[in-house]
Amino acid sequence: MHKLKSDTAQLQSQLARYCRDGEEVELNGAVSSRLHHYRRLTRNIMEDSLATAYPLTKQLLPGKKWNKLVDHFFSDHDAQSYQVWQMPKEFVEFALHQNKVELKKYPFLKDLLVLEWKEVEYFCLEDRAFPVKKAEHEIGVNPEHEILQLEWPVHKANTLHIAADKKGEFYVLIFREPKDKKVIFFELSLIHVAFIELLKSHDGNKEESLLELCTLTGIDNKDFLSEKMEDFIESLRSKGFFY
């Protein structure tokens, strides 16, 4: 790959810096009166990417706060990703640790940003092969998933109405439906979390998973536990998580 000439690289660097901070600059061969168009276009691309990734966060924050946060990210954050769609991921940590925009009023913001980014991330996943079930009694688990532990119910409540007394412990399963590739969030109880993890560790063996779940929960009757788990299993099977 040919390297840019030093003067060309310098011009590109100066233009990029101007687009980010808006400070006037003299660029050799450029019409100064037109440079603002480059800044406007690049800023719009940045804002559009963030608004697409975090629509609920944008709706939550007052317009001035959102715009100031975007401007701060645009001018001060050195993005590491070379892919535009992945750039908003860096916004999460930036927003939570920056000190120019006051966000203490929104203690649930971290959970909201993480949840919104996960939806983008799973929507854009490369397809993965689903393991083949070896026996009829086995339960296949969609490999395109993870379980998030949240402190706030951002997955089921309007963030405009989340009060301090709503803080707790929530487990949310996120997965991509295999047919239509729709990203789904599903709230889990702790026993459901344990059952899913046991299925994964026992290669989908339902009986072994239930036996160990009995030990973990102190429930002696496996048939009783199996009956109680059946609705949960069928619900997630219909959504494309179990197969």
User: Which CATH number covers residue 185?
Assistant: 3.90.930
Neighbours of 99 (CB within 10 A): 7
Edge-to-edge strands, sheet with 183-188? 145-150, 170-176, 183-188
Amino acid at 224: F
**Residues 146 and 235 grouped into a single domain:** yes
The three-point CA angle 94-102-17 to 5° equals 45
Angstrom distance (rounded) from CA 122 to CA 144: 8
pLDDT tens-digit profile of 106-163? 999 999 999 999 999 999 999 888 988 778 889 999 999 999 999 999 999 999 889 9
- Residue at which a domain ends, from 72, 106, 140: 106
* Residue 69 counted as domain residue: yes
Is residue 49 one of the residues assigned to a domain? yes
Residue 44 has pLDDT above 90, yes or no: no
Is residue 125 assigned to a domain?
no
Looking at the structure, tell me whether residues 89 and 135 fall in a common domain. no
Q: Are residues 163 and 243 in the same domain?
A: yes
Q: What is the pLDDT of residue 40?
A: 72
What is the average pLDDT score of the chain?
88
**Domain range enclosing 221:** 130-243
Say yes or no: 15 and 70 in one domain: yes
3-state secondary structure of 242: strand
| Percent with pLDDT over 70 in the chain | 84
Residue 124 lies in a domain: no
Q: Are residues 10 and 71 located together in one domain of the fold? A: yes
Q: Is 111 part of any domain? A: no
pLDDT band of 27, cuts 50, 70, 90: low
Of 73, 106, 139, the domain-final residue:
106
Instruction: Please tell me the distance from the alpha carbon of residue 101 to that of residue 62, in angstroms, as a whole number.
Output: 11
Task: Determine the pLDDT at residue 203.
Answer: 93
Could you tell me if 237 and 161 lie in one domain?
A: yes
Q: Which long-range contacts (CB under 8 A, 24 or more apart) does 187-194 make?
A: 187/155, 187/156, 188/147, 191/217, 192/232, 193/147
Within this chain, do residues 32 and 80 fall inside the same structural domain, yes or no?
yes
Q: Is the pLDDT of residue 17 over 80?
A: no
Residue 94, judged by CB atoms within 10 A of its CB (0-12, 13-18, 19+), counts as middle
| Whether residue 11 has pLDDT greater than 90 | no
In a domain, 117, yes or no: no
Is the same domain home to 221 and 137?
yes
Q: Give every CB contact of residue 216 below 8 A, 6+ residues apart in sequence.
A: 194
Q: Which two tokens stand for residue 137?
A: 């009694």
Residue 79 pLDDT level (bands cut at 50, 70, 90): confident
- Are 135 and 28 in the same domain? no
Evaluate if residue 41 carries a pLDDT over 90: no
* pLDDT for the residue 14: 58
Q: List Cβ neighbours of 128 (8 Å cut-off, separation of 6 or more).
A: 143, 144
User: Which uninterrupted H or E stretch holds 145?
Assistant: strand 145-150
**pLDDT at residue 1, as a whole number:** 46
Higher pLDDT, 34 or 108: 108
* Residue 35 CA: distances (Å) to CA of 15, 175, 227: 8, 44, 68
Residue 225, in any domain of the structure: yes
Taking residues 32-42, what's their average pLDDT?
Answer: 67
Q: What percent of the chain has pLDDT over 90?
A: 68
Q: What are the two backbone dihedrals, phi and then psi, of residue 185, each rounded to the nearest 5 degrees?
A: -110, 135
Q: Tell whether 27 and 91 lie within a shared domain.
A: yes
Where among 106, 122, 148 does a domain terminate?
A: 106
Q: Do 151 and 209 share a structural domain?
A: yes
- For residues 19 and 102, membership in a common domain is answered with yes
Burial of 139 (C-beta count, 10 Å sphere; 0-12/13-18/19+): buried
Q: Which residues of 27-46 are buried (b: 16+ CB within 10 A; e: fewer)?
A: eeeeeeeebeeebeebbeeb
The pLDDT score that the predictor gives to residue 4 is 46
Domain count, the chain: 2
Which residues are CB-neighbours of 56 under 8 A, at least 6 positions away?
112, 116, 154, 159
41 falls within a domain: yes
